Structure 1
């Protein structure tokens, strides 16, 4: 079963909405930075999930880049 982020990214790719994907990636990056700065909490699992989300988002952006060149 696809993860929610994969469905969201697929939707934005099908709509050719690069801005939404860029915004989503920036939000995830900011969240990861904020969590890494926290002390007293073990956020490693959450940070790992966010980093995996960023990989999926960047794959969607790459798809849009590939579609633009063809």
Structure 2
């Protein structure tokens, strides 16, 4: 069963909405930065989840890249 992020990324890919995916990637990066600067908690599970979300977003962006000829 696909995750929520996978469903969202899939929809943006179908719509060819690169900007929305780039915005998602930027937000995930910001959340990771905030999480890593937070003390007093164990962010391992949240960090792992955000890294997986980033992987899914990057895969979606890769699908929208124009084919390379040559």
Q: After TM superposition, is the score higher than 0.5?
A: yes
Structure 2 unaligned segments of length 5 or more: list them.
none
Task: Map 1:1-70; keep pairs closer than 5 Å.
Answer: 1-65=1-65, 68-69=66-67
CA RMSD of aligned residues (A): 1.0
TM-score, normalised relative to structure 1: 0.93
Q: How far does the alpha carbon of each residue in 1:19-44 deviate from its partner, in whole angstroms, 9 at most, with x for none?
A: 00000000001001100110001111
**Structure 1 residue runs of 4 or more that deviate by more than 2 Å after TM superposition:** none
Can you give the 5+ residue segments of structure 1 that lack an aligned partner in the other structure?
A: none
**SS of equivalent to 2:16:** coil
Aligned residue-pair number: 68
Flag the structure with higher helix content: 1
CA distance in 1, matches of 2:67, 2:35: 36
